[in-house]
């Protein structure tokens, strides 16, 4: 939840920063913009997956169950994936 909130805040800040560079967001449109940016219910289904952080344990479990492994790997800071 904290991570989702941090990402939402970062996206909103970026959107407001870009909007500030062009034209300010009128106060009456702020709620509409926030609703557009904020993740909706059911959009973050990847968070419901029981991810494993130990690759070796995941490999052994996948082999035992005859299933493939999905490796989700990123380099750098999660809010500025490099």
> What is the mean predicted confidence (pLDDT) over 34-58?
87
Q: Which of 39, 44, 43, 37 is nearest to 13 (CA)?
A: 37
User: What pLDDT does residue 55 have?
Assistant: 93
Place of tokens 């750098």: 76
Whether the predicted pLDDT of 19 surpasses 60: no
What letter would DSSP give residue 78? T
pLDDT band at 75 (very low <50, low <70, confident <90, very high): confident
Q: Cβ–Cβ contacts within 10 Å for residue 37, how many? A: 13
User: What pLDDT does residue 49 have?
Assistant: 85
User: What pLDDT does residue 7 have?
Assistant: 73
Q: Which two tokens stand for residue 55?
A: 């690759």
Q: Which two tokens stand for residue 54?
A: 């130990």
With 0.75 as the threshold, say if the pTM is over it.
no
Structural element, H or E, at residue 11: helix 2-22
Q: How far apart are CA 38 and CA 9, in angstroms?
A: 9
């Amino acid at each position: 939840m904290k991570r989702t909130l941090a990402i939402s805040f970062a996206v909103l800040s970026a959107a407001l920063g870009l909007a500030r560079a062009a034209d300010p967001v009128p106060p009456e449109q702020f709620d509409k913009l926030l609703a557009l940016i904020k993740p909706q219910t059911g959009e973050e289904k990847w968070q419901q997956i029981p991810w494993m952080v130990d690759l070796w344990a995941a490999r052994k479990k996948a082999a035992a169950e005859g299933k493939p492994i999905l490796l989700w790997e990123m380099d750098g800071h999660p809010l500025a994936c490099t």
